[in-house]
Structure 1
Amino acid sequence: MQETYYAATYWPARQGSVQSCAVQSERLFQSLSRCDTSFSHWFRQGKTRAAALSQAFPTDVAGLVTLFDEQTREEGRRQTDGFSADVWNGQSDEDSSSLSFRMGGASSRLPEFCLLSPPEQGPTAERLLRAPTLAQVLRAMVRAFEPEWGLATSHAHRDLVSDSAAPGTFIGWLTYFSHRRGPLPALPPSVHLEPVDTLGTLLVLTPERFTATRPDHLALAQDVSSRLQQAGLLSPLRP
């Protein structure tokens, strides 16, 4: 079975204004457009492909302010609900990626997030499902939202190592730790560590595509996970 992958970052809710959330979102879209050409344009989700392609999603501050203002006026919505988006890149099925995020709220129960689902196979997937490209994607999310934790990995590996998939409690092919989580312990020399500005560290298990079907990949992930657990870095997000 073909493994499917995703990249995501998470953080405890931080209430933000329409303007500040629009600025952060624009920063994300600008950075993603430099990761791959397939991230240059985004569209609202629709019932049909034609319906979605007729609804371009704004990626500039002015357009995002208008969108978020509209969300605040929705019936039954509370001021502390924050803002969200579910968008699609308008590519053919083979090259299709989707992006979702929720931010700017004040819930003590629900973490905020940014989630990218790249295509499963094909030329675009081959470009995106590489450690350097996924590292770029995670760095874009980190610089936009300053999350506490994030990862890029396969759904199969996530389901293998976590019953609940609770953010912060497991690792993936690439895993991001904010400095707020604490210092990283000594790790196997094959594990690559990349600083993300002054915000945190990106941990890359393998330069080749990590897969849940390789025993050596699973053994390395288990070793690293155990060390991080002992150092207190794998725990649920807390407000």
Structure 2
Amino acid sequence: MQDSYYVGAYWGPRKETALECARRAELFLHMLARSDPSFTQWYRAGRGVPRELPGHPVRADITELEKLLLQGRIRAGKEVMEDLGFMQIMWNAKKEATEIHLSCGGYSPWGGPNSCLLNPTRESPLRERLLRAPVLAEVLTSMATAWDPDFAMVSSTEMVRLVQKRKWEVRVGWLTYLSRRLGRLPPLPAPVRIEPVGAIGWLLHLSPEPMTSSNPEHVAFTSRVRELLDRAGLIQLPEPEPASE
């Protein structure tokens, strides 16, 4: 069974308007388009979609993205839950699409984290083209630059299940972005390669090749890097406060 790889960026409560989130989304989509030709056009759901298209085309400009995010406000009945922010999903093809799942602007202490997730297509050879370290490093850099997350990573669901120790923690993957807010990086073993992402954080390359959950050496090495980061205080995240009754 092949690993279910994804790219995920996560950050804690951050009160932002739809306009502020739209600025970040615009930057993200423009940067993402440089990573691969399949990332140049995205689509959304809605009524009246032409049959020949995967959805309504999304223009990567602030005005349209702000409207799109406002449509994704979280509601309880008719009441807008302002502190839960905005959610949207976009995709780039009719079949075997790559998807973007976005949750931003949330500032509830007990709601889920803000996040930007990219789920690569399962179609080959496009999948093989996307699941290369240089492409995914560009995707991670785009997410980090635009969304300023606490951490981001490229991993598989299967690897996360094997490596993660706590429910609320920084996840370490094949490629991992860590914000400087988390603390200082400790010395890490070869072949880990560290690149700065502007002045905001670091990108850790654990391997030039995909790290798979079926390879015991990959699991052991990822776990070792996680342990070293944990000892340096970079892994544990504060647990959300429970909802008030």
- Number of residue-to-residue matches in the alignment: 236
1:52-77 deviation digits (Å, cap 9, x = unpaired): 72422342111112223444596321
Please name the residue that 1:216 is paired with.
Answer: 217
Q: Distance in 2 between matches of 1:164 and 1:186?
A: 23
CA 1:90/1:25 → structure 2, altered by over 3 Å: closer, same or farther? Answer: same
**Which residue type is aligned with residue 152 of structure 1?**
V
Structure 1 residue 167 displacement after superposition: 4.5
Please name the residue that 1:115 is paired with.
Answer: 117
Partners of 1:212 and 1:218 within 8 A in 2? yes
Partners of 1:15 and 1:106 within 8 A in 2? yes
Matched, 1:21 2:21: yes
Partners of 1:29 and 1:59 within 8 A in 2? yes
Q: Distance in 2 between matches of 1:32 and 1:188?
A: 30
Identical residues among aligned pairs (%): 35
Please name the residue that 1:42 is paired with.
Answer: 42
Please name the residue that 1:57 is paired with.
Answer: 58
Q: Distance in 2 between matches of 1:167 and 1:58?
A: 35
Q: SS state of the match for residue 219, structure 2?
A: helix
Q: SS state of the match for residue 87, structure 2?
A: strand
Bigger share in helix: 1
Q: Distance in 2 between matches of 1:49 and 1:213?
A: 42
1:62-121 deviation digits (Å, cap 9, x = unpaired): 11122234445963213333122111112532xx20001111121112210000000224
Please name the residue that 2:127 is paired with.
Answer: 125
Partners of 1:111 and 1:237 within 8 A in 2? no
Which of 84, 91, 103 aligns to 1:88? It is 91
**Which residue type is aligned with residue 6 of structure 1?**
Y
Partners of 2:162 and 2:219 within 8 A in 1? no
Structure 1 residue 232 displacement after superposition: 1.1
**Which residue type is aligned with residue 146 of structure 2?**
A
Please name the residue that 1:160 is paired with.
Answer: 162
Unaligned runs of at least 5 residues, structure 1: none
Q: Distance in 2 between matches of 1:232 and 1:157?
A: 22
Structure 1 residue 178 displacement after superposition: 0.3
Larger displacement relative to structure 2 (9-18 or 84-93): 84-93
CA 1:213/1:51 → structure 2, altered by over 3 Å: closer, same or farther? Answer: same
Give TM-score, length-normalised by structure 1: 0.90
Larger displacement relative to structure 2 (44-53 or 22-31): 44-53
Q: Distance in 2 between matches of 1:99 and 1:165?
A: 23
Please name the residue that 1:201 is paired with.
Answer: 202
Q: Distance in 2 between matches of 1:121 and 1:139?
A: 24
Structure 1 residue 31 displacement after superposition: 0.9
Partners of 1:12 and 1:237 within 8 A in 2? no
**Which residue type is aligned with residue 31 of structure 2?**
S
Partners of 2:54 and 2:92 within 8 A in 1? no
Unaligned runs of at least 5 residues, structure 2: 241-245
Q: Distance in 1 between matches of 2:134 and 2:55?
A: 33
Please name the residue that 2:226 is paired with.
Answer: 225
Structure 1 residue 49 displacement after superposition: 9.8
Structure 1 residue 172 displacement after superposition: 0.9
CA 1:160/1:199 → structure 2, altered by over 3 Å: closer, same or farther? Answer: same
Partners of 2:53 and 2:94 within 8 A in 1? no
Q: What is the alpha-carbon root mean square deviation over aligned residues?
A: 2.4
Structure 1 residue 28 displacement after superposition: 0.8
CA 1:87/1:167 → structure 2, altered by over 3 Å: closer, same or farther? Answer: farther
Partners of 1:195 and 1:202 within 8 A in 2? yes
